[in-house]
Amino acid sequence: MSSEIKKIGVFTSGGDAPGMNAAIRAVVRAGSYYKKDVFGIMRGYEGMIDGDIVKLGARSVGNIIQRGGTILKSARSEEFRTAEGRKKAFNNLKKEGIDSLIAIGGDGTFTGLHKFFQEFDVPSICIPGTIDNDLSGTDYTIGYDTATNTAVDAIDKIRDTAMSHNRLFFVEVMGRNSGYIAMNSGLAGGAGAIIVPEENYSFDELMKLLGEGSTTEKKSNLVVVAEGSKIGGADELARKVAEHSSYFDIKVTILGHLQRGGSPTYFDRVLASKMGVAAVEGLMKGENDVMVGIRNNKIVYNGFDAVMQKHHELDSESLRIAKILSI
C-alpha cells in the first residue's frame, strides 16, 4: 500500500443515519492501525469552512459503535456551494496538514466531495450513509437496515391497535425518492398495500384493493406509504379514502424522524465497520473521487458518474409478492 497519505479528515454530512458513529470509529482505528493521523471535522462542510477540526485517536472513538446519530454532528452548508466557501475550507485543511478526506453521507455529500476534488485535487472517498438506500453502486447504505427495522417495529405495534378496533391505518415512512423502507417494512409488517415513489400506483387501484377487503369483511388493514408517493402522503390518502367510503374507521401514523434515531442494528454496525476500513485502505491504494460500496458481500469502489447517473432500482419482485400476500 502507498504511504503518501498521512493525515485523513473524516466528517459526516446531510441527514444523520444509524451506523455513522460505527463508520467514524472504523476510519479512526484503521487510520491508527496504518499509522495515519485522523482528524474529525465537525458539522460537515460547515465545520470545514469554520475550521472546526479536532484530532481523533483510537481511544477517542471508544464506546460509540452502538450509538445512533453522529458524534461529529452534521449540517447542510450553503456557503460550501460557493467557490469562496470551498476555498476557505481548503485553506483550513492545509493549515492542519490534512491531505485526504473521507465523507460519510448521501448523494449531496458525494456531490460536494466530487466538486472539491475537481477543484483542489484532495484525495477523497465517500462512505454511503443514508437511511433511504437510494445510492447506486452498493446493495446497502449505512442506516437503512436500522431505519427499516424501526419501521417494522412500529408497524407491528400499530397492527395491534388496528385489529383491536377494526381500523384502517395509513403509516407513512421516510423515502422522498426511494421506496426501499416502505417496500420492505410493508412486506415484513404484512401491509395490505405498499405505495412507493417508483411505482405508478393509482388512487383508483388503492380503492379497488380496499374494496376487495370490504367484500370479505376485512375491516382492519394497513397501508404503508413512502413520503414521496406520487398519489399523496398518508394524511392526503386517508382523507381521500374517507371521502369515497364510510366503511373504514381510518387513522394515520407518520413515523418521521423516529426512523433516523436509535442504536444501529448489528448489520449496520458491521457494514459501517467494513466500509470505514475500506475507505482508509482505498485512499492508501490510490482510490480517488469514489464511493465505497458493497456488492454481493464484497467491497467495491464506484466512480462519481457511476453513482449519480443511475438510481438504485427497487426490487419489483418484493412488491409483487407483497400484493399476493395482501389478500
Amino acid identity for residue 230 in this structure: K
Query: What is the SS3 assignment for 229?
Result: coil
Catalytic residue selected from 132, 134, 145, 289: 132
Q: Tell me which residue has cell 458493497.
A: 294
Q: How far is it, in rounded angstroms, from Cα 314 to Cα 327?
A: 22
- For residues 298-317, one letter each, b for 16 or more C-beta atoms within 10 angstroms of the residue's C-beta and e for the rest, the string is ebbbbebeebbeeebebeee
Q: How far is it, in rounded angstroms, from Cα 294 to Cα 212?
A: 41
Instruction: Indicate the burial class of 67 (C-beta count within 10 angstroms; 0-12, 13-18, 19 or more).
Output: middle
Element housing 172 (H / E) = strand 167-173
Query: What is the SS3 assignment for 169?
Result: strand
Judge whether 132 counts as a catalytic residue: yes
Instruction: Indicate the burial class of 34 (C-beta count within 10 angstroms; 0-12, 13-18, 19 or more).
Output: middle
C-alpha gyration radius of the chain: 22
Task: Return contacts of 77-84, CB within 8 angstroms, 24+ apart.
Answer: 77/44, 77/45, 77/46, 77/49, 77/112, 79/45, 79/46, 79/49, 80/45, 80/46, 80/48, 80/49, 80/112, 81/112, 83/119
3-state SS string for 86-153 = HHHHHHHHHHHCCCEEEEEECHHHHHHHHHHHHHHCCCEEEEEECCCCCECCCCCCECHHHHHHHHHH
Catalytic residues: 132
